[in-house]
Structure 1
Amino acid sequence: MAQTQMFSTFQRDNLEDPPIPDTQPWVPFRTRLDFEVAELAHEAALSQPQIDRLINLLHRSKQDSESFTLRNYKDVRNTWSAISHRLTPFTKQIIQVPYDGVDQEFTLYYWDLWDWVCDLLRDPYIGPQFTFDNQCLSKFDGNTFVRFIDEPWTADRFWEAQVSVDHAKPLAFILYADKAKLSSFGREKGYPVIARIANLPASIRNGEVVGGGRVVAWLPIVKDDPSKSGKPKFTDFKAAVWHESFKLILKCLRLKRKHGGWVECWDKLQCLFFPFVPILSADYEEQCVMSLICGVMGKFPCPICLVPHDELHSLLDTWPLRTCRDSVRLLRKARRKTTKAKQEKKLKSQSLRDVENSLNLSKLLDVFRALCFDRLHTHHEGLWGKHLWIELQKWINETGRQAATMIDEGFAAAPRWRNLNHFKRVMGISFADGTKYEDILKLIVFVAHDVLDPEVHEQGYLLLQCIRAHLDVDMFAALEVHTMDTLAAGRAALGEFSRLMDKYMSESGSELKNWNFPKHHLAVHLFDDIEAKGVTRNFNTKPNEKAHRPLKKSYQLQTNFKQVADQILRADHWSLVSAWIRYRLNDLDDYNARKEASALGGSDLDSHADDTAPDERVTPRLESTGSFHIKLGSRQRISSINAIQQAHLKDPAFHQFHIKINHFLNTIPIITRNGHVALELGADTVTEFRYLQANFESMVDFQTSKDYLRCSPMFHNAPRYDSVIIRTQDGIIFGHLIFIFMCLVGDASYPMALIHPCDVPIPNGPLKDKHLGLWRVRAQPRRKSEFVFAESIIRGALLLEDRSQPGDFFVVDSVDTDMFLHTKLHKDSHMY
């Protein structure tokens, strides 16, 4: 049913009263202390001798009234095993796949997917977080309602599933598979399959707590045989082993695709659910296995559409989409051919393998529609990291050694920014981490703009334009919420990138074949995937790649390096059970705290005992300013204006500090309503702060975001003065923080900041600013520093100085998606 709500009251929080928690969630551990010690030992991956030593130490301590009953490692292990049955255990099964007429046996470990999701549906904490109905959400933009898409249930594929299961609820699974290197040198590998539930919000689904990603299978790995490797027959055999394994994994869901399955949920109500798999998250190589195409060497190497290999460089053309019906029909026709050569020829017409696809399941799973654009491997580690970046390095190195040095120096000089890697060198270094490639992409245009001269290095400069266009596409791909407008803008950015790349290929002499690779082409499907399945964080492989780390840790610290699958999976299951108990323990503690506060006349049981976010707890001593927007921290001693001037005699920004602050205060009506203000030079009226937290509403997802800003002469052994966006009477400007303080005026304190404004008009900027999408701002002379109220700071900003024009700075719009949209909307307006 369509609903219209005021945006100020719109919320998705579940308003149900939380259930009364289990008072002993640690059972069958004999006490809570037993569980917490075993939990700590498991999290630390302690060895058997270490656990025995820990237990001996605890027994020597009798200070706590709570009994400690664990005796040794064996007792810990037995108790873990006893409690593990609370959640769905894994199954071990042998599968057989023929090769040369002889059945080959492999061991498969897997969990029952249906039982696992039923565990979540029955959970009184996770169950209420599920969303079962499609939502078509729109936000009023001042003129009209604009649809926006974020979670899978706001996108088209979820709607299709719901329409097809009238009077029932769709239950959506996200599946990921990829090999993981367990040993340091990659000799020992595992093959986990990770599942997530698309009905849960991204904050839970992509997390590591109960309700987040779960290893649901451990696929067999076919050992390479030098005499067989690379041959089509052996490659088909490995694919057959994979699909035979997945057939077993999906069996429990396949049985319910026609009539669904009834589940008694957390609220004791029976609901009918129909499972389906709208998203397969995988890198390109794994997508080839899932779709059973021949991959890079095939005539049609895209797993989603039938683009010819020689047309992969073009991003503007569209090609017929692959369908399950066509692939099944083609395989049947090929197998009716009388010779192997004719069979192969028929299959090559769509680059398919002669293997039955276990992912072609009507209603449950359409493999070609479920495969998704993967931002991590396609953009950061693929098109950018392995191609555009290599190509740019070539042009820079050809320019000369000084050019490469300038790039490294530019990255080293870039101001530090939260969640952005800081590099001392990037040239000549190969990174294995996709996040590092992403962060290089975010800064490279701002660093390299003056290294490649458009008159001298015409092709290299054109490549830099291509990279800027690619950065725009990647930032649109990163948006946490998409509207129809941002989708249209993203498609336009992709078209501009394609146009510039076509120009670069034709003018640089670069052969087309060098750009005919799948990871160049796959962006064609990016925005269609977002419309169908929600934003890219729903199907990006990054959260799943992160899940490899604990598996590797378990291998290195909790196995004997023999028959490791059983040991790793047992440790992973214990981790899940441990998180399940910890979730309940935390809830019990909060419940008891609220109950105690209520008994003492404090807040009621439905309020939160501590609403402080985890990030706030680790910031320096926050000083409340009476506003949610701004918080100050890292308090220094109270001082006088005279002392501040004396401490900064060499800094022009502090010249006439006394006169300027009195003048500023006397321009504020609310301060001067009782007469003229005159702060005394020697009175202790100023308290310096070196940290500022700015809370602001993100333009992307309409949620509260935070910037953690520093204004300190020494932060981690280096000065750090961050930049900010400031709202003034004349408009919105950028500026650098110089001094943050609380000023005492009479009986009232006002949080203020001394800033170095960057608001000098620039009538005609360089042409390269337009070519490279650069937003240039120019700083006033430092002596023209200004005072502002801290409340006027909107958020932080990253400004990178133009080496070729000291005093000019570039607004780095790629630091996050909110800043990206800010610049896209206002760069060409008079607002800034």
Structure 2
Amino acid sequence: MAKNKKAGKKRVTQASYTGHRLNPRTVCSFCQASFATRGIKRHKAYCSRNPANSKKVAISKEIPRGFIVPVEMDLTEETNHSLTDDGTSDNPSRLSDYRGPDNIEDYESCEETTSDTHPEHDRRDPSLSDHPARFISIVWHPSSNRPDEIIPLSGNADQDAAIPPSSDADLLPPVHGDRLPWHPFDTKGDFKFVHFVTTNRLKNKAVDQLLEEMHENREWTSGCTLSFKTHKDIELVLSKARVLFPEFRTEKISVKSGEYSFKFTLVLRNAWHWLESLVTDPIFASKINWYPCRKYLHEGDSCTRLYDDLETGDNWWDYQSDISPPNSSEPIPRCYLPIHFWSDKAKVSNQYSLHPVIMRPGFLPSVIRNGNGNGGGVLIAYLPVLPDLEDEASLDETSSHKRATVRRMMYHASMKVILDPLRNASHHGQAVRCGDKVVRRCYPGILVYSMDYEEATYALLNRGVNADFPDPKCNVTYEQQHDLTGNYTRRTCAEMSAAYAHARLCRFAYESNDILQAIGTYLIKNAFWVMRNSCPYKGWGYDILHMDDTSGKGKKIFLLVVEKVVKDKLESALNQRYSQLPRYPLLKHFHRVTDISYTDGNTIYNIIKNLVFCLVDLMPPNSPWVHLVRAYSRFRVLIGLHVMTDIRIELGKKLLQQENLSLDYPKYHGSYHVFQDIKGAGVTSNYVTKTGEGYNAEMKASHNQTNFKNVEAQMGKIDQNHEVIAHMMDWTLVANEKEESARAAERAENTDEPSIDSVPIVPDCNDHHKLGSKVSPRLTMDQFETANSDQPGFKDLAMRLANYLALGHHGIKKLPEFEGWFKLSFYRCAYVNYESKEDFRVRQDIIRCNPSFNGHPRYDTVLVDDNELRFARILAVFSWKYDQSKPPLDLALVRYFQPTSWTPATNFERCRVMRERRDTHFIYMSSIIRSCHMPPAIGKAKHFLVNDQTDGDIFLRLEETPI
């Protein structure tokens, strides 16, 4: 019985490489089963205690450093320390040595480190027999003591095997080790009801009314077993539950500096307690990235570096090198805990603004930390907001400077209190027994700062857009901002803190002001300087939302184009071209783009993707406007890729130089730093403010739940309820899985084995595609031809199909000869899977061939693999069930496009024009790569432009395809 329960236990499934970014695989040295690398340590602990594996010999862990380990080989433990049976360190005397003196030098705290002593990646010949033709190698930081790994890129990766946890109890946090996961609620039903009330933000009056009717057994409810009578009963239990997550507190802060003196109140929660709750949570134990790494793409003889998530950037690597001991004999491993920092002021009503600070765990995968649930962003504080003045724009220079100074003083006085719990740990580490029962010395630090420009002027103490040095990150002058070819030095904590110290020593105010103006800052001590390995000058990343889409370069270019076409009286023509664009799943459809002035960033980005194709015939020949739009739109697509390489970065630099704009403002100059930021902290999606902006809607909803008095404190309690309920729901789901596993094991024990003579179900789909929206009834090819006799190229279809199948490209043995009277199943759409060139994951496109889709005919265009890349329009999709015991043969009728010598008035870079042919051809569905978008060439019938800007895959796929 026990054995069967073990076998029937529900396992925690890891996504395959194609479903989760760069997820390697390895083999257990005890049971020889294949697993994902993350979590293998916990599995081996479970497997080593299994009596069935007691006689198996583990593979030696003494693998030379730098050796690329194939997926079939075992991986070493991530550290070289030893643990006792209960998971604690065998050298407990070292646990007390985690704090140091408090006299920390501020300006040295977050100085840039260059302690990268790791040798260059061993670029072995990928043609060796133990390496696949295409693979990704992962080089871990030396302090991890992990061997290098490889990930084969086959284009059709299998699903990862399941990883059993070491025990069910280990998945529940220690606080619930001997309690039900919904404690302190009396019953699971009580908890589920409060979860509903909390997540739907019901007000107290509505809750009371709901409970009253439920207990009175009204017409729509009966047999209510809830223990609550009113919302006060719920609040009483929630007050006990809130202690399970770091609670908010109120801090009174007094600031006195020179002529400035003021007091304010700060609502915050302990940032270290939040971090500690994550690293000690067994639910996240197998998901945490404890160490940085470097990834390389190997294709044939080429090898290029990859950048994706935070751990692949140089900054984390350098910070980990800075905290690593000079030798590897220390029994307790040291780990840098990266924090994603976001803050921004936003209105929650017409009269009231709030300034939230949100932190995210950079050591968790982006799919977790960018979510709203457990492991996602957490509200740390509400910063004080200085009320706006009605006549603030009319203030003189002195008054305006004083007001800006007060705002920044309040900001950094608040941040000093917020960061204080992290300060000592960032310098000397904090010993923590983590969720996987390994004791680690954790060093928290802020790796990335996600802020718009205005917020960055607060955090980095810059004087703003009109300052002599308006860029908070570098020493570019106001007049040089348009020049993206210059050599501008990035600021450092040492440089800025030295200037601050020098200004403080000046005898006269004008001398101090001259020093500060020369670097565009204030006489304020930056609160982030006290944090080790948290440099804000290299941590503030390029924000595509504000630097490009909503108020930056992309929107600026679009508005300039609109101004140009309106001046030339071409407004209606541009709107008409946008309205005539073929529909495409990844693109918004517009009718009047010239009327759009204020909108969200995604709308501007969608407009930019099509702008060059709608503008090209409206401008004079060889128009600089067309070249500008083309260069920028390609640049924008490239910097938004989810995986970058050194080759793609070089292409981006080339595109940036083609813009050639004379715009002297910080958001334009910000693109000078984008590729440095990508190399430092991974792709731009890691630090885009869009992730944090989503909290504004949640903040407004919380504000509406208050009585509008002492708002921050009430909203803090509301946020606390949401956090603790989210955590408890995770624990409850784990408990549910445990119960379901036990029931499944019991069912398996009492169920007979399936008969080996049973007939398997033959699926009507495969890994490449699936057909959808089946047309009824089935038709013969002759009937289909008759129904479309008015279309060119629809003659002798049955005979042509028989001849095509006779060529034998299908690879099917003994395929019957096709006859015109055979019944075929026709479909209106197909779902096609392909490996993305962008991030090597499997993507899916929906391809439609429908005579009336939402009231309009729709026949999508696709890329076809026919020895060379070809473009085609899908006219029909059908399948032939030639054998009832075998999968059907799926085909499509297409009309090919062919290259043409015709070009538009402005032959912009990589302009690809295709002419649609009249004849038709049959192809196998398996030869379709993906869909594509082809806008019509205005003024030239049957000619189409290829839009290579819809997404990252099509951009890269066509970039490497000759025109």
The normalised TM-score by structure 1 is 0.88
1:479–1:660: structure 2 CA closer, same or farther, 3 Å change rule?
Answer: same
Extract unaligned runs of 5+ from structure 2: 1-64, 71-130, 137-149, 153-158, 173-178, 325-332, 752-761
Q: Distance in 1 between matches of 2:778 and 2:419?
A: 69
TM superposition shift of 1:201: 1.2
Asked if the contact 1:88–1:111 (Cα under 8 Å) also holds between the matched residues in 2, the reply is yes
User: What SS does structure 2 have at the residue aligned with 1:382?
Assistant: coil
741, 757, 771: which is aligned to 2:878? 741
2:553·2:668 contact (CA, 8 Å) conserved in 1? no
Mark the CA change 1:754 to 1:629 in structure 2 (over 3 Å): closer, same or farther: closer
Q: Does 1:312 align with 2:481?
A: yes
Alignment deviations for residues 266-321 of structure 1 (CA, whole Å, 9 cap, x no partner): 12221101111121111111111111111111101111111110111111111222
- Taking every aligned residue pair, what percent have the same amino acid on both sides? 25
- Corresponding residue of 2:864: 726
Q: Which runs of 4+ in 1 moved over 6 A?
A: 11-15, 61-66
2:207 alignment counterpart: 51
Instruction: Tell me which moved more, 64-73 or 636-645.
Output: 64-73
CA distance in 1 between partners of 2:371 and 2:288 (Å): 15
After superposition, residues 441-520 of structure 1 pair within 5 angstroms as 441-454=608-621, 461-498=623-660, 501=661, 512=662, 515-520=663-668
How far apart, in 1, do the equivalents of 2:690 and 2:785 lie? 50
Which residue pairs with 1:112 in the alignment? 270
Spell out, residue by residue over 1:100-155, the C-alpha distance to the aligned partner (whole angstroms, 9 max, x if none): 85742222111211111111111122232111112121121111332211112111
The answer (yes or no) to whether the contact 1:33–1:66 under 8 Å persists in 2 is: no
Structure 2 equivalent of residue 693 of structure 1: 831
Count how many residue pairs are aligned between Structure 1 and Structure 2. 780
Aligned to 1:766: 903
Give the match for residue 435 of structure 2: 266
Task: Name 1:404's counterpart in structure 2.
Answer: 571
Asked if 1 retains the 8 angstrom alpha-carbon contact of 2:463 and 2:520, the reply is yes
Paired residue type of 2:804: F
Q: Within 2, Cα distance between the matches of 1:741 and 1:24?
A: 54
SS in structure 1 of the partner of residue 725 of structure 2 = helix
Asked if 1:162 corresponds to 2:329, the answer is no
1:508-545 CA-partner distances (Å, limit 9, x unpaired): xxxx5xx1111111111110111111111111111111
1:703 is aligned to: 841
1:80-159 matches, cutoff 5 A: 80-98=238-256, 101=259, 103-159=261-317
**1:384-421: CA deviations, max 9, x gaps?**
34421121112111221xx2112212222223333432
- Residue of structure 1 in register with 2:779 after alignment: 640
**1:168-187 CA-partner distances (Å, limit 9, x unpaired):** 1111111011012212xx43
Helix, strand or coil at the partner of 1:344: helix
Q: Contact 1:665 / 1:672 at 8 angstroms: preserved in 2?
A: no
SS at match of 1:117: helix
Give the SS at the match of 1:377.
helix
- The alpha-carbon deviation at position 670 of structure 1 amounts to 5.1
1:797 and 2:945 matched: no
Return the alpha-carbon distance in structure 1 between the equivalents of residues 598 and 501 of structure 2: 45
**Structure with greater helix percent:** 1
Can you give the 5+ residue segments of structure 1 that lack an aligned partner in the other structure? 456-460, 502-511, 605-622
Aligned partner of 1:616 in structure 2 is: none
Alignment partner, residue 581 of structure 2: 414
Distance 2:542 2:738 in 1: 43
Give the residue type in structure 2 aligned to 1:485: I
Deviation for aligned residue 1:603: 14
Q: Which residue of 2 aligns with 1:74?
A: 232
Deviation at 1:694, TM superposition (A): 1.7
Q: Give runs of aligned pairs for residues 578-597 of structure 1, distance below 5 A.
A: 578-597=725-744
Q: Contact 1:392–1:463 (CA<8 Å) still a contact in 2?
A: yes
- Measure, in 1, the Cα distance between the counterparts of 2:302 and 2:261: 64
CA–CA separation in structure 1 for the residues paired with 2:929 and 2:555? 38
* Cα contact 1:666–1:672 (8 A) shared by 2: no
The 8 Å contact of residues 832 and 930 in structure 2, kept in 1 or not, is answered as yes
Cα 1:70/1:753, change in 2 over 3 Å: farther
1:438 paired to 2:605: yes
* 2:339 alignment partner AA: F
Matched residue of 2:775: which SS? strand
1:322-352 Cα offsets, whole Å, 9 max, x none, are 2222222222222333332332222111111
Distance 1:562 1:76 in 2: 22
Written as runs of structure 1 = structure 2, the 5 A alignment for 1:321-332 is 321-332=490-501
Q: 1:130 to 1:225 in 2, by over 3 A?
A: same
> For the residues of structure 2 that align with 1:89 and 1:672, how far apart are their CA atoms?
66
Question: Residues 133 and 342 from structure 1, CA distance in 2 versus in 1: closer, same or farther, beyond 3 angstroms?
Answer: same
1:541-560 matched pairs, under 5 angstroms: 541-556=689-704, 558-560=705-707
Query: Aligned residue for 1:254?
Result: 423
For 1:571 and 1:436, the matched residues in 2 are separated by 32
Q: Which moved more, 1:32-41 or 1:223-232?
A: 223-232
User: Aligned equivalents of 1:602 and 1:489: distance in 2?
Assistant: 60
Moved more, 166-175 or 94-103: 94-103
Could you tell me whether the CA contact under 8 Å between 1:479 and 1:700 is conserved in 2? yes
Shift of 1:160: 0.8
Counterpart of 1:350 (choices 519, 524, 543) is 519
Considering Cα pairs closer than 8 Å and 6+ residues apart, tell me whether 1 or 2 has the greater RCO: 2
CA distances 1:341-377 after superposition (whole Å, capped 9, x unpaired): 3322221111111211111235242221222211110
Q: Distance in 1 between matches of 2:879 and 2:224?
A: 47
1:817 matched residue in structure 2: 952
Aligned 1:523-672 pairs, distance under 5 A: 523-556=671-704, 558-601=705-748, 624-641=763-780, 642-652=782-792, 654-668=794-808
**Structure-2 residue corresponding to 1:826:** 961
Counterpart among 779, 785, 789 of residue 916 in structure 2 = 779
Aligned 8 A contact 2:506 2:512 in 1: yes
Q: Please give the root-mean-square deviation of Cα atoms over the aligned residues, in Å.
A: 2.8
Aligned residue for 2:112? none
Shift of 1:426: 0.7
* 819 and 675 in structure 1: CA distance in 2 versus 1, 3 angstrom threshold: closer
Check whether the contact 1:666–1:676 (CA below 8 A) recurs between aligned residues. no
Q: Relative to structure 2, which stretch is displaced further, 417-426 or 237-246?
A: 417-426
Mapped partners of 1:193, 1:3: distance in 2? 43
- Aligned pair in 2 of structure 1 residues 240, 546: CA closer, same or farther (>3 Å)? same
